[in-house]
Amino acid sequence: MPTCNSAAWVSDSVKSVLSQSHTQLELIVVDDGSSDHTVALLKKMRETDERLNIIERNSCSGGPPTPRNDGIDVAKGNYLAFIDSDDLWHSRKLALQLDSMEKFGLNFLSTQHIPFHSSPPETTNVDDPYQIRFRSHSNLIRKNWVVTSSALIEASLFKRTRFNQQPEYIGVEDYLTWLQLHQNPIIKSGVLTQPLVLYRVRRDSISASKTRMAKKIFYLLSRYTYRGQPLGIRKHLYFATYVFFAFKGRLFS
């Protein structure tokens, strides 16, 4: 969990992780140079739960990729999960994902999500955890279906992969990472159709600006290589599908 000046909501996000029905976990919160009382809140919570590991960075890196990478570097588990410091997990998220991954032989599994603005909605029932939509690189490059706070990934896939820390990729560094991981021939990926993440929509976030995000997506596609080869003219096709799905999502949201 990367965090920076998140005192207003970080406690709820941390609680949603530490209250998981799957209890064998370590929550690594990497503070990216907060100037508010975020760290003080985290240290208070650590007094009652030693599974909380706090890493403090001295200065702000400008985005989540650097603190995410710092967390990956010290993680000890067989799986890596990511959550932003303003999002919330369903209490059975990890348990249902782990069960599904074992049942279907997956090493990458994301979930559906529910967006909210100020007050999170009531958590939903999850009666059938095994509704899986299998996915591949060809699906992903047409539409980024992976909400970062929903991803659960076998840690071995990150042996040679990290989030891109270059400033021009901030906001799409997670999408780039998912694309790179899905080039791995051993990837077995899917989406669990249950909404197990509550995703906070903030006006000050990078993704809130559709124009800015569109520019970043086009930049990514212009420089992305698949099996060592640039996309060439195909980048326009993939960008068009991005615009279509973004418009569709906004129309029906």
Return the pLDDT at 245: 86
How many other CB atoms are found less than 10 A from the CB of residue 118?
A: 7
CA dist., res. 140 & res. 45, Å (int): 37
For residue 189, list its beta bridge partners: 108, 135
Chain centroid offset of residue 201 CA: 14
pLDDT at 129: 57
Residue 252 pLDDT > 70, yes or no? no
Q: Within 10 A of 203 (CB to CB), how many other CB atoms are there? A: 7
DSSP string, 133-201: EEE-HHHHTT-----GGG-EEEGGGGSS------GGGTTTHHHHHHHHHTTSTT--EEEEEEEEEEEE-
Q: What is the pLDDT of residue 127?
A: 64
* Residue 17 contacts residue 1 (beta carbons within 8 Å): yes
pLDDT value of residue 208: 53
Catalogue all structural domains in the chain, each as residue range(s) with its CATH number: 2-208 (3.90.550.10), 209-253 (no CATH)
Q: What distances in angstroms separate CA 171 from CA 42, 65, 166, one per listed residue?
A: 25, 9, 11
Q: What is the pLDDT of residues 16-61, one digit of tens each?
A: 999 999 999 999 999 999 999 999 999 999 999 999 999 999 888 9
Helix (H) / strand (E) containing 239? helix 234-252
Q: C-alpha angle with apex 61: 30 to 93, nearest 5 degrees?
A: 35
Do 142 and 178 touch, CB atoms closer than 8 A? Answer: no
Summarised one tens digit per residue, pLDDT across range 57-114 is 988 898 999 999 999 999 999 999 999 999 999 999 999 999 999 999 999 999 999 9
CB 56 within 8 A of CB 31: yes
Structure-token pair, residue 85: 């410091």
Condensed to tens digits (0 to 9), the pLDDT of residues 199-242 reads 998 666 555 577 899 999 999 999 999 999 999 999 999 999 99
DSSP 29-89: EEEES-SSSHHHHHHHHHTT-TTEEEEEESS--SSSHHHHHHHHHH--SSEEE---TT-EE
Confidence band of 248 (pLDDT split at 50, 70, 90): confident
pLDDT category of residue 124 using cuts at 50, 70 and 90: low
- Phi, psi angles (nearest 5°) of residue 172: -130, 10
- Residue among 117, 27, 37, 107 nearest 71 (CA): 27
- Per-residue pLDDT, 206: 54
Residue 119 is predicted with a pLDDT of 72
Digit-coded pLDDT (tens) for 143-196: 999 999 999 999 999 999 999 999 999 999 999 999 999 999 999 999 999 999
Q: Distance between CA 107 and CA 87 in Å, rounded?
A: 23
Q: Is the pLDDT of residue 250 over 70?
A: no
